[in-house]
Amino acid sequence: MLHVCLAGPMITGNQALVAALRMQHEVSLVSRCTRLGDSHAVHNSDVLVLDATGIRATLRDGSSPAHLPAGTIWQRVEGREWTVTVGEFTPEKARQLREQNSVDHVEVIDVGLEDLFKDLVKGQRAVP
């Protein structure tokens, strides 16, 4: 069982997601007025779910991702398509991905709450 701390109004306000997570995990909600660094729930969490954004890039022929943006939660490469889920997104992260990798195109995409949680769990499992 994981202790999952949910933060951010889009996530804590999604009652279907909160209910689904509570079926398998211990869940704490952090209100938007609470400072995350001061929250007892954050320090006792195995997973902290925050709002996140996706970046989809088209890799140049024969190239592979070289540099991940800071705050990467999960990445997937299928053919030339490289999708990265990034926490605490800023336009600077998309610019860095474009400049530090061999890509033809970069676009910012929405990440649904269910996909975000799946990416967080996959990302944790991938780390030894």
Considering the domain architecture, whether residues 58 and 104 belong to the same structural domain is answered as yes
**CB-based contact 74:120 (threshold 8 Å):** yes
Residue with tokens 């400072």: 35
Considering the domain architecture, whether residues 75 and 112 belong to the same structural domain is answered as yes
Q: What is the pLDDT of residue 128?
A: 43
Q: What is the pLDDT of residue 78?
A: 94
CATH number for position 77: 3.30.70
Q: Return per-residue pLDDT of the chain as tens, 128 residues.
A: 667 677 666 667 778 877 877 887 877 776 654 455 566 666 666 666 666 788 999 999 989 999 998 888 889 999 999 999 887 778 888 899 999 999 999 999 888 767 877 787 777 665 44
Q: Which amino acid is present at 88?
A: E
Start-end of H helices in the chain:
9-12, 15-24, 40-43, 91-100, 113-126
Q: What is the pLDDT of residue 9?
A: 64
Q: How far is CA 118 from CA 21, 56, 60, in A?
A: 11, 17, 28
Query: Angle at the Cα of 25 (from 24 to 26), degrees rounded to 5?
Result: 145
Considering the domain architecture, whether residues 44 and 76 belong to the same structural domain is answered as no
Considering the domain architecture, whether residues 61 and 111 belong to the same structural domain is answered as yes
- Residue partners of 69: CB distance under 8 A and separation at least 6: 55, 84, 86, 93, 94, 96, 97
Considering the domain architecture, whether residues 88 and 74 belong to the same structural domain is answered as yes
Q: What is the pLDDT of residue 46?
A: 64
Q: What is the pLDDT of residue 124?
A: 62
Considering the domain architecture, whether residues 59 and 102 belong to the same structural domain is answered as yes
Residue 106: give the domain boundaries: 52-126
Q: How many domains are contained in the chain?
A: 2
Considering the domain architecture, whether residues 36 and 58 belong to the same structural domain is answered as no
Considering the domain architecture, whether residues 44 and 18 belong to the same structural domain is answered as yes
